[in-house]
């Protein structure tokens, strides 16, 4: 057994090229996500300094416009990355991201902030970045590489909670948008100079259509899964700040003291699960057990919400499963999608993710108004249960 472990061990290690590509792309993704998240914790308050910023509908439109245009553009830019290459599409997308940030930084009108956010959303490069990681890694280690990206989302969100109030307090809302633009420029430099070139598949590029993806059972299940995951995430964050603040005595300026250790602890705890999934090739089992974990945690939250310690423990559990699924699902997309339309498949995947973010925020707010945190937890648990039912039918070959 020991000799077998020694013989298989090298195959489970990232090669130098895989490591360099994964780290560079995860850094690019993290910087881009940080630029997106920085606005979320503070904009509803900071927007009052803008013309029209006292209208919550216009403020909500400015905040959500990015997600809508990103959902529209993920698929065409994913297809374009299949045909023209990952690097040029990502560079183009990040140029739009920077341009949109500059538009926001130079205005004092909430309507022009909406325009800037629309321009940023047009540069939807998540699918191209994820496809580039898939290009650069073998299937045996791809989940580990995707875990770097998945973990970067949680870490970027935690950092945004710390940095956003500081930046607005020091430089104002305009300064925050300049910081977002700077992060976009950093992403542009990483894409141009720091991600190594990797050989592309020699398979002929075919003109794939939406039907190719929509008739693929495995991809449909994964798209539904990522929609559910991000719907649940956004709906939870409609109630988490108020609940944690009430139970623990935190305000918006100090909630990062809860979020940061929760997310870091969950990331540390999910690493062994990802390693086990790879070494035992237990991707389907990991998918099912992680979704089941979400069902359990979300189902328990209505009964735990009177205790600060228990709510924090539940959120740690939630983010353990969230981080596993955030790493596992795009890896599974890249495994089941034919190489000739891998970018298109990831485009659909990221579109479903963006739609989940938008729907979770909007419907989560309606649920809070209708029934408070308990209703949000129950609906999220039921949605996770439906997801579990569909995940049980997932096959990598389907």
Judge whether 154 lies within some domain: yes
pLDDT of residue 207: 52
Quick one: three-class SS letters along the chain? CHHHHHHHHHHHCCCHHHHHHHHHHHHHHHHHHHHHHCCCCCHHHHHHHCECCCCHHHHHHHHHHHHHHHHHHHHHHHHHHHHHCHHHHHHHHHHHHHHHHHHHHCCCEHHHHHHHHHHHHHCCCHHHHHHHHHHHCCHHHHHHHHHHHHHHHHHHHHHHHHHHHHHHHHHHHHHHHHHHHHHHHHHHHHHHHHCCCCCCCCCCCCCCCHHHHHCCHHHHHHHHHHHHHHHHHHHHCCCHHHHHHHHHCCCCCCCHHHHHHHHHHHHHHHHHHHHHHHHHCCHHHHHHHHHHHHHHHHHHHHHHCCCHHHHHHHHHHHHHHHHHHHHHHHHHHHHHCCHHHHHHHHHHHHHHHHHHHHHHHHHHHHHHHHHHHHHHHHHHHHHHHHHHHHHCCCCCCC
Q: Are residues 187 and 211 in the same domain?
A: no
pLDDT of the chain, 398 residues: tens digit per residue: 444 444 444 456 888 888 888 889 989 988 988 888 888 767 766 777 889 877 766 766 777 778 778 888 887 888 888 888 899 999 999 999 999 999 999 999 989 998 998 899 898 888 788 888 888 888 777 777 776 776 677 678 778 877 887 788 788 889 999 999 999 999 999 999 999 887 655 444 445 566 777 777 788 889 999 999 988 987 787 777 778 878 888 776 677 788 778 878 887 888 888 788 877 777 888 889 999 999 999 999 999 998 999 999 999 999 889 888 887 887 788 778 776 677 677 778 878 888 887 777 777 777 877 888 899 899 999 999 999 999 887 766 54
Q: Are residues 279 and 324 in the same domain?
A: yes
Q: Are residues 358 and 381 in the same domain?
A: yes
Number of domains in the chain: 2
pLDDT of residue 7: 40
The backbone region for 32, taken as left when phi is positive above 0, alpha when psi lies in -120 to 50, beta otherwise, is alpha
pLDDT of residue 210: 67
Q: Are residues 211 and 344 in the same domain?
A: yes
Q: Are residues 299 and 217 in the same domain?
A: yes
Domain that holds residue 273: 207-398
Last residue of a domain, one of 192, 218, 237: 192
Last residue of a domain, one of 137, 166, 192: 192
Q: Are residues 125 and 87 in the same domain?
A: yes
Q: Are residues 269 and 392 in the same domain?
A: yes
Q: What is the CATH number of the domain that holds 239?
A: 1.20.1250.20
Q: Are residues 138 and 277 in the same domain?
A: no
pLDDT tens profile 97-150: 999 999 999 999 989 998 998 899 898 888 788 888 888 888 777 777 776 776
Judge whether 200 lies within some domain: no
pLDDT of residue 178: 96
Q: Are residues 170 and 266 in the same domain?
A: no
Q: Are residues 177 and 216 in the same domain?
A: no
Last residue of a domain, one of 140, 165, 192: 192
Q: Are residues 148 and 253 in the same domain?
A: no
Judge whether 229 lies within some domain: yes
Closest CA to 37 of 201, 138, 160: 160
Q: Are residues 187 and 212 in the same domain?
A: no
Judge whether 3 lies within some domain: no
Model confidence pTM above 0.85: no
Judge whether 160 lies within some domain: yes
């Amino acid at each position: 057994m020991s000799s077998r472990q020694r013989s298989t061990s090298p195959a489970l290690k990232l090669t130098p090229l895989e490591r360099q590509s994964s780290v560079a792309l995860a850094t690019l993704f993290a910087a881009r996500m940080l630029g997106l998240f920085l606005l979320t914790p503070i904009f509803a308050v900071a927007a009052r300094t803008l013309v029209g910023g006292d209208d919550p509908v216009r403020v909500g439109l400015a905040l959500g416009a990015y997600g809508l245009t990103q959902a529209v553009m993920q698929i065409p830019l994913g297809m374009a990355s299949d045909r023209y290459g990952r690097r040029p599409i990502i560079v183009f997308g990040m140029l739009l991201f920077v341009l949109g940030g500059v538009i926001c930084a130079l205005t004092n009108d909430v309507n022009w902030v909406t325009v800037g956010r629309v321009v940023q959303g047009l540069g939807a490069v998540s699918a191209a970045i994820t496809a580039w990681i898939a290009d650069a890694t073998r299937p045996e280690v791809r989940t580990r590489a995707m875990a770097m990206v998945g973990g970067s989302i949680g870490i970027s969100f935690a950092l945004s909670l710390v940095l956003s109030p500081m930046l607005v307090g020091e430089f104002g809302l305009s300064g925050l948008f300049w910081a977002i633009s700077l992060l976009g420029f950093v992403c542009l430099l990483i894409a141009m100079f720091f991600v190594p070139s990797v050989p592309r598949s020699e398979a002929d590029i075919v003109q794939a259509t939406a039907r190719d993806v929509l008739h693929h059972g495995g991809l449909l299940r994964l798209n539904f899964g990522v929609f559910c995951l991000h719907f649940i995430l956004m709906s939870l964050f409609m109630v988490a700040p108020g609940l944690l603040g009430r139970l623990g005595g935190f305000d918006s300026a100090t909630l990062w003291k809860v979020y940061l250790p929760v997310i870091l602890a969950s990331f540390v705890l999910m690493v062994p699960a990802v390693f086990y999934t790879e070494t035992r090739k237990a991707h389907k089992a990991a998918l099912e057990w992680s979704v089941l974990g979400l069902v359990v945690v979300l189902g328990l939250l209505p009964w735990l919400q009177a205790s600060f310690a228990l709510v924090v423990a539940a959120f740690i559990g939630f983010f353990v499963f969230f981080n596993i699924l955030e790493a596992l699902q795009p890896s599974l997309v890249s495994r089941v999608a034919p190489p000739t339309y891998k970018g298109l498949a990831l485009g659909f995947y990221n579109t479903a993710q963006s739609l989940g973010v938008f729907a979770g925020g909007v419907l989560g707010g309606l649920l809070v108004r209708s029934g408070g945190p308990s209703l949000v937890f129950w609906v999220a648990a039921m949605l996770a249960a439906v997801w579990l039912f569909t995940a049980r039918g997932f096959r990598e070959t389907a």
